[in-house]
Structure 1
């Protein structure tokens, strides 16, 4: 069940939408408010930048091609972790 929903676009081309709902409704010990959405804007070169996100019991989790990603874990460390 969606509790809230919003969507807007500004004059300078920013577009955003978000929905919110309660997860595990009726289970007071585990009820969680979940917000998820997306927003898009244009960088200084006019390229669209889109960020999608969810915020729930696991925290704020953004996703977007423009976000930095960590380097891969070296094979030597992976072997240590899995032994």
Structure 2
């Protein structure tokens, strides 16, 4: 899960992050990614991966994406939190 705090342009940043599907295709093991807006100045992403190696690879790709496209809009660096799925319900 990644927390993004920025200058008040959630819609623009989510559009930037979601328009380049190729960048997500480059991450082996990325199974799902969801962005959701918390407020006009904050949004989160939640990603699921096949394994920890895939997650670690994603951190580098996302870091590059942030530096290249959205760092100028952020008020602080994104906070990335990782953990192990211990239970899941799906339909």
The structure with the greater share of residues assigned to helix is 2
Between 1 and 2, higher relative CO (CA 8 Å, sep ≥ 6) is seen in 2
| Common fold: TM-score over 0.5 | no
Q: TM-score, normalised by structure 2?
A: 0.28
